[in-house]
Every structure is written in C-alpha cells, then in structure tokens.
Amino acid sequence: EMVLTQSPGALSLSPGDRATLSCRASQNFYSRYLAWYQQKPGQAPRLLIYGASNRATGIPDRFSGSGSGTDFILTISRLEPEDFAVYYCQRYGSSPTFTFGGGTKVEIK
Amino acid sequence: EVQLLESGGGLVQPGGSLRLSCAASGFTFSSYAMSWVRQAPGRGLEWVSTIAGSGGATYYADSVKGRFTISRDSSLYLQMTSLRAEDTAVYYCAKDTSFGDFGLFDSWGQGTLVTVSS
C-alpha cells in the first residue's frame, strides 16, 4: 500500500517568505499522478497542482510543484496572507486507491 | 458553476446505518466520476470511495470495503452500514476532473458531518 509522508508537519513563516513543502512516497510512481490541495479552516479542499507540476485553473503562479519518483515538492514563492492553510499531497490515477498525505500546516510566524 | 450539496449526516449509534446524498448541478453529472472523501475531526483527508460516470465501476478504501456502498443516479450516494466510532468524520462529495484520471478532484461540496457514538 502506497504511503505519502509529508514534511514538515507544520511550518511557521511570515508573509513574503518562501515555503517549501515535501511529500515522499513509499513506492516509486509516475509523477503524472501527484496532486496538491490547499485547505483552509472550515472549508473544503481546493485543487492547486496536478501531474506534479501543473497548476489548476485559477491558481496563482506563486504556487509551483516539482519532483518525480518518490520525492515531490510544493513551493510557494512569496507567501500571501491567504496562503496560510493546510496543504495535502495526493496520489491519484492508475491505482484504484487515492492516497492523501498527512498534511503540512503553513502558519503565520 | 459546479455545485455539490451533501446531506444525510447526523448522529448514529455504533453498528448503525446512514445514507449520504450529494446533489450535483452545473455540469453533466453522468460524464464524471464522483467520489467521497472524509476528514475526521482535526485530522487529514481520507479517500473513501469512487464511482465511474457510468456507475459501472466502483472502488473502495480498505477501511470501508464491505461496509459502505457507493451508487449514483441523478445524485451521488453513500450507504454506510456497520458504522464504527472511527467513521466519525465530515464526508465530502468530490467531482473528478475531465482529464480522465480517477481520483483527481476539482470540485468539492461543503461536507456533511457523521458522528458515530452511543
């Protein structure tokens, strides 16, 4: 069973900082099937990145994704106040089980 | 505009049953796979189940296999039986993208809370 491990569990940063979030898979898989979501308190998740590096519709270009194999990164180049939230990576696609990572909380320092 | 509205959550005793519904609008419902994703209080996201647009294929997480049944007609449903305390969560209805890959969700409902407790 695929496990996605996100690190760190929490990140304390200031507006304008760069955020780097990690997602490590327990098995190698095709990067086409790696997504990132953002979730704010009391809200449903929102799709940010799919295929490891493609921004979803309407997502600002300060969000970028990279990686392949077992190691994936979500980068927020300059944090805006609205970016403080929890971020989840997810494996979707070829396997009929769609695993989420445990999440990284980006909080205001 | 895509809208997904869940209903049917509530308090149920361990071992009980509950049926969740998700009313969809703003897109051609039968053309898209649909899923249920849950989130226990203060915890992360957990994929629960997916059904193809045609309804012909269904998939389940191991944690709910044999207890939950996903189905669809003009709405999406999740029949939950033999409920356990660990099934307590907000249940989200989610729509797949048009990319053809199962499990990539571009629209979500606001969720319905299921509480399993005596």
CB contact under 8 A, B105 and A45: yes
Is the model's pLDDT at B99 over the cut of 90? no
Residue B101 confidence class, pLDDT cut points 50, 70, 90: confident
pLDDT at position A28: 85
Is the model's pLDDT at B48 over the cut of 80? yes
The strand pair at B112-116 and B10-12 is best described as: parallel
CB contact under 8 A, B47 and A99: yes
Does A59 contact B at CB distance below 8 Å? no
Contacts with B103 from chain A: Cβ below 8 Å: 90-93, 98
Average pLDDT over residues B62-68: 97
Does A90 contact B at CB distance below 8 Å? yes
Average pLDDT over residues B15-31: 97
Q: For testing the chain B interface, which of A92, A94, A104 should be mutated: the one with the most B CBs within 10 Å? A: A92
For the CA atoms of A28, A29, A31, A33, what is the dihedral angle to 10 degrees? -150
Beta-bridge partners for A47: A37
Tell me the pLDDT of chain A (109 aa) as tens digits.
889 999 999 999 999 999 999 999 998 888 789 999 999 999 999 999 999 999 999 999 999 999 998 999 999 999 999 999 999 999 998 777 899 999 999 999 9
Average pLDDT over residues B99-107: 89
Average pLDDT over residues B109-113: 98
pLDDT at position B55: 78
CB contact under 8 A, A50 and B61: no
CB contact under 8 A, B101 and A33: yes
The residues, ordered by sequence, that sit 6+ positions from B60 with a Cβ below 8 Å of its Cβ are B48, B49, B68, B70
Percent of chain B residues past pLDDT 70, beyond the cut: 100
pLDDT at position A94: 73
* Structure-token pair, residue B109: 């409902």
Nearest-CA distance from B39 to chain A in Å?
10
**d(Cα A81, Cα A97) in Å, to the nearest integer?**
34
Contacts with A99 from chain B: Cβ below 8 Å: 47
Residues in chain B: 118
- Amino acid code (one letter) for B31: S
- What mean pLDDT, rounded, does chain B reach? 96
pLDDT at position A73: 97
Contacts with A33 from chain B: Cβ below 8 Å: 101
Contacts with A57 from chain B: Cβ below 8 Å: 106
DSSP string for B9-53: -EEE-TT--EEEEEEEESS-GGGS-EEEEEE-TTS-EEEEEEE-T
